[in-house]
Amino acid sequence: MKKKIIENVKTLIYALIIAIIIRSLFFQPFYIPSSSMEPNLLIGDRLFVSKYSYGYSRHSFPFSPNIFDKRYFAKRPELGDVIVFKTPADNRTDYIKRLMGLPGDLIQILDGDLYINNKKINREKINIDDEIYCGREILDIDAYKETLPNKKNYVAVYRKNGTMKNTDKFIVPKDHYFFLGDNRDCSKDSRFLSSVGYVKFENLVGKARLIFFSSDKKKGTFIEFWKWNKSIRKSRLFTKIK
């Protein structure tokens, strides 16, 4: 009996070690808790983030142990990537936003238009069927297909009577990055220097790759499997993140 218990404990330890290795070096699941990335990421989306995309820092590991202060096997992110990072305020909280400014870039919003290095980002007004939320409020929005200088495109939404029509100039420091939420008037991001601001390269956790599960919590929670027929957003399962 004692031998069997020891074998079971060993099996659990091995499984835990393997899980930590996979989570730290390859893929980690994340849950979307807010509407800041609508319409591209919805509350209730569960996604995989690749940990190897930008190399490894202490934030690649559970609890961000202070074991080293560099990034190893570093690869620079590209403009437009959707990235999970640790907020500079506490180096603990996970945020997910779109990368909109590289080191040295100048970012500004003027009259509702986004400028990178004094060049207006090309955008095309489109119609979308999605209801866009900010908390429980349904927003009256304009939706645009925005195309970045590297040709990457995505959908961003703005309040018709937005609160961020104009901003100061943001100059991204060396080895830092500037992030925005796609739901531009419902996102705490790099525009808010006291709470998020510029994000160190070290703080990048990984690149959002794939939505593997999605459920509308207004129709049932993840653990209420008997409601999955109503709550699961089938069209979002196993979709790539742009």
Give SS3 for 229.
helix
Compute the distance between CA of residue 95 and CA of residue 116 in angstroms, rounded to an integer.
22
Burial of 137 from C-beta contacts in 10 A (0-12 / 13-18 / 19+): exposed
Sign of CA dihedral 235, 236, 241, 242: positive
Report whether 146 contacts 123 (CB < 8 A): yes
Active site residues: 36, 97
